Amino acid sequence: MQDDFTQCMVSNSRRAARAITRRYDAYARPFGITSTQFSLLGGIVMAGERTVSELAEICGIERTTLTRNLDRLESLGLVASQASGGGNGRICGLTEEGRALLRKMLPVWRKAQAEIRESLGPDGFDTTISTLKRLADV
């Protein structure tokens, strides 16, 4: 029975996600945002201006969590939103300040990525990323 829990995909993936998030948050903290917010800014750059629902799907973030983070980024002047044409939704995009922060943070973020890559080894890192992408598509 103990093996059932030590080999549990849910608990192990959550523990790993928390550990990785703490590490990346330490790098993001001096810039006044969290790793989730940094990823969200990057998601907006990759996806372009999108509705909150579209961003939630693209970024893999629960809609309520995404909304809370978008509100924070908007209050910091990093994201701007406008009403979408259909209903009560909003479309979000980066401000120039948001783009500038991403440019400033990118070297630090690359350093964090390099540390994770080093700890897993190049093959382990690539395999982990590939596995996570496969699991996300299940």
* Residue 1 scores a pLDDT above 70: no
Q: Which fold has domain 2-136?
A: Arc Repressor Mutant, subunit A (1.10.10)
Q: Which residues sit opposite 90 in a β-bridge?
A: 83
Q: Give me the pLDDT at residue 4, please.
A: 72
Q: Does residue 86 register a pLDDT over 70?
A: no
Q: How sure is the predictor about 74, in pLDDT bands with cuts at 50, 70 and 90?
A: very high
For tokens 């209903």, name the residue. Answer: 87
Q: What is the pLDDT of residues 8-21, one digit of tens each?
A: 989 999 999 999 99
In the chain, domain spans: 2-136
Percent of the chain with pLDDT over 70: 95
Structure pTM?
A: 0.85
Mean pLDDT of 99-122: 94
Q: What is the pLDDT of residue 6?
A: 85
Query: 26-43 pLDDT, tens per residue?
Result: 999 999 999 999 999 999
